[in-house]
Structure 1
Amino acid sequence: MTKTNPGNFFEDFTLGQVIEHATPRTVTDGDRAVYGAIYPTRFALPSSAEFAKACGLPQAPVEEPIGFHIAFGKTVPDVSLNAVANLGYAECRFRRPVLTGDTLSTSSEVIGLKQNSNGKTGVVYVRSTATNQHGDVAIDWVRWVMVHKRDADAPAPDPVVPELAASVAAEDLIVPDGLDFTGYDFVAAGEPYRWGDYEVGEKIDHVDGVTLSEAEHMMATRLWQNTAKVHFNTEARPDGKRLVYGGHIISMARALSFNGLANAQLIAAVNAGAHTAPAFAGDTVYAWSEVLDKAETAAPGVGALRLRLVATKGRDESMTLRGEDGKYAAGVLLDLDIWVLIPV
């Protein structure tokens, strides 16, 4: 009897199935340090304990993508080890800051299944929940992933595609307890722009670019204990290339967005997200943002901006998301719709 785990294929999933993922993961200052070494992030609140305390938090949280990637990585051996690609995200809320010393555990429920027309793959929809050592929910989200079938002749399940919210409603955003931006230090943060300086429809070219390397993208993916074969094994794809983990592009785009959005200190929610094209080592990633909406919060001095954060292969000064045919423009790698918290 084999004792190794080949991962789940499309026909192994059933609607309503609940999976408790292995290997709880304790967040350390090492995660923060390696994250800062790989991505050009400079947001003051997760970088400075003193800045965080001045904003009413007991300590500096780690950046939201760190918690998300750790929690996401737990799901990979069970959900996407045999994936063709991770396709998208929805209804993601950061319910409490993730702190060093927190231990995250993740579970997932299968909420949708749909075999593709080629009969060789199918799309699996899961709702995943990450809890800390106290049993408190830290992050929850929906994602959908295209997974290989083990047997192309296996019968297709009845298709179920879940109805997902187009966005997290502004009134449902969760502001961390104690967050207070009334005494916000704009000099320390690096830019003077606040909530009122941004207008709906405004686009911001973040200017800077970073060329992806094989070593860094695999190091980042290993850091989150993401074991998907396509990120490491050149034999896992017909083209012989290692696919860059989509979360690596998310983190890169978020870090690049500092230039123009330095005061967008915390991500409150991910409304939707799509990895629109594959990325590989040697590609140079740039980013731009569009302001989609604005909202007030009940927290003192804290406002919310809804942003479309777009990562591109090569710089697109025209900041074009879609062509005239309605399809994503050439070079677009990521289309991420997020809420961020910013001083008013």
Structure 2
Amino acid sequence: MSKTNPGRFFEDYRVGDVIRHAVPRTVAEGERALYHALYPARGAIYSSDDFAAACGLDGSPMDDLIAFHTVFGKTVPDVSLNAVANLGYAEGRWLRPVWPGDTLRAESQVIGVKQNSNGTSGTVYVRTRGLNQQDEVVLEYVRWVMVRKRDAASPAPDPVVPDLARVVPAADLVIPEGLDFSDYDFELAGEPHRWGDYAVGEIIDHVDAVTVEEAEHMLATRLWQNTAKVHFDATFREDGRRLIYGGHVISLGRALSFNGLANAQMIVALNGGAHANPCFAGDTVRAWSEVLELAETPAPGIGAIRLRLVAHKGAAGDTTLRGEGGKYAPHVLLDLDYWALIPR
């Protein structure tokens, strides 16, 4: 009996299966420092204990995307080791902050399967939860992945496609306990813009750009223990190129959005997302955001802003999203819909 694990293939998934992912991970300040070295992240709450304390927290929590990447990485050996591509996200919510010293683990339930028409792959839908050392859920999300079949001749399962909410309702957003923006320091945060300064339909070009380096991408995937073959193995794709981890593009886009959205401090929900086109080393990533919705919250001084974040490798100032036939324009890398908290 082989002791090595080739990973799950499409025919190995059954709707209802619950997968407890291996290797819990304790996150600490070194994780934050490395994250800020990989991405130009400058959110004040995640950079300063004093700033976070002035906003009602016990100190500076870990960046929301550190929690996301850590939990996501746990799932890769069981969900996407043999993936062709990660296709989308829905119903994501951050339920409580992750603090330095917390230990995170992950579990996923298979909620859908559908074989592709080519018979060589299929789409797997999973709902993943990240839990801390007290077994408290810190975040949850749905994602769907195109996974290769082990044997193209194996019979197709009955298709099950889950009915997923298009948007997390504002009323279901979870505000971290104690968070209070009543005395928010706009000068230290970096920009004066507050909730009421944004308008639905407004588009913000974030101006800055980052060229993706192979070494940084490889460091990121190792940091998050993301062992998907498309990111590590240059022989896995016919073109001999390693695909840049989609989460790397998410973090780059989010960090670039600081210029114009410095006060959109905390991500609290992930409504949807698509990795529209592949990203490779050498691509220069730019970003723009569209304001989709504004909502009040019951928390003191805090509003919610729903944003579409688009990361692309096009020319500076290009906010084209779709091309002919309604398909994503070829330069678009990421189309992400999320809720963030912002001072009112």
TM class by shorter-chain length? over 0.9
Once the two structures are TM-superposed, the CA of residue 332 in structure 1 deviates from its matched residue by: 0.5
The aligned amino acid for 2:227 is T
Other structure's SS at 2:290 match? strand
Other structure's SS at 2:208 match? coil
Map residues 135-214 of structure 1 onto 2, 5 A cutoff.
Answer: 135-214=135-214
The aligned amino acid for 1:280 is F
The aligned amino acid for 2:246 is G
**Structure 1 unaligned spans of 5+:** none
Q: Does 1:297 find its partner at 2:297?
A: yes
Cα contact 2:114–2:124 (8 A) shared by 1: yes
Other structure's SS at 1:237 match? coil
Once the two structures are TM-superposed, the CA of residue 207 in structure 1 deviates from its matched residue by: 0.5
Q: Does 1:88 find its partner at 2:75?
A: no
The aligned amino acid for 2:309 is L
The aligned amino acid for 1:157 is P
Other structure's SS at 1:71 match? helix
Q: Identify the residue that residue 123 of structure 1 maps to in structure 2.
A: 123
Cα contact 2:207–2:316 (8 A) shared by 1: no
Per-residue Cα deviation, 1:146-197 (whole angstroms, up to 9, x for no partner): 0000000000000111000000000000000000000000010000000000
Other structure's SS at 2:326 match? coil
The aligned amino acid for 2:5 is N
TM-score, scaled to structure 1: 0.99
Q: 2:121, 2:315 → 1: CA distance? A: 33
The aligned amino acid for 2:30 is G
Once the two structures are TM-superposed, the CA of residue 316 in structure 1 deviates from its matched residue by: 4.9
Q: 2:315, 2:41 → 1: CA distance? A: 19
Q: 1:315, 1:105 → 2: CA distance? A: 40
Q: Identify the residue that residue 268 of structure 2 maps to in structure 1.
A: 268
Q: 2:219, 2:142 → 1: CA distance? A: 25
Q: 2:330, 2:281 → 1: CA distance? A: 18
Once the two structures are TM-superposed, the CA of residue 324 in structure 1 deviates from its matched residue by: 4.8
Once the two structures are TM-superposed, the CA of residue 62 in structure 1 deviates from its matched residue by: 1.1
Other structure's SS at 2:180 match? coil
Q: 1:120, 1:323 → 2: CA distance? A: 28
The aligned amino acid for 1:251 is S
- Count of residue correspondences: 344
Once the two structures are TM-superposed, the CA of residue 321 in structure 1 deviates from its matched residue by: 1.3
Q: 1:39, 1:306 → 2: CA distance? A: 22
Q: 2:12, 2:153 → 1: CA distance? A: 14
Q: Identify the residue that residue 76 of structure 1 maps to in structure 2.
A: 76
Q: 1:240, 1:131 → 2: CA distance? A: 37
Per-residue Cα deviation, 1:4-58 (whole angstroms, up to 9, x for no partner): 0000000011111110000000111111000000100111000000000000000
The sequence identity of aligned pairs, in percent, is 67
Cα contact 2:206–2:258 (8 A) shared by 1: yes
Q: Does 1:306 find its partner at 2:306?
A: yes
Other structure's SS at 1:163 match? coil
Once the two structures are TM-superposed, the CA of residue 322 in structure 1 deviates from its matched residue by: 1.5
Q: Does 1:7 find its partner at 2:33?
A: no
Once the two structures are TM-superposed, the CA of residue 317 in structure 1 deviates from its matched residue by: 1.7
Instruction: Name the stretch that deviates more: 302-311 or 327-336.
Output: 327-336
Q: 1:340, 1:91 → 2: CA distance? A: 14
Once the two structures are TM-superposed, the CA of residue 325 in structure 1 deviates from its matched residue by: 2.2
Q: Identify the residue that residue 234 of structure 1 maps to in structure 2.
A: 234
Once the two structures are TM-superposed, the CA of residue 314 in structure 1 deviates from its matched residue by: 2.6
Q: Does 1:17 find its partner at 2:21?
A: no
Other structure's SS at 1:248 match? helix
Per-residue Cα deviation, 1:107-145 (whole angstroms, up to 9, x for no partner): 000000000011000000000011100111000000000
The aligned amino acid for 1:234 is A
Other structure's SS at 1:218 match? helix
Cα contact 1:88–1:145 (8 A) shared by 2: yes
Other structure's SS at 1:209 match? strand
* Cα distance change of structure 1 residues 324 and 84 upon mapping to structure 2, 3 Å threshold: closer
Cα contact 1:283–1:314 (8 A) shared by 2: no
The aligned amino acid for 1:32 is R
Once the two structures are TM-superposed, the CA of residue 323 in structure 1 deviates from its matched residue by: 2.4
Cα contact 2:116–2:122 (8 A) shared by 1: yes
Cα contact 1:17–1:110 (8 A) shared by 2: yes
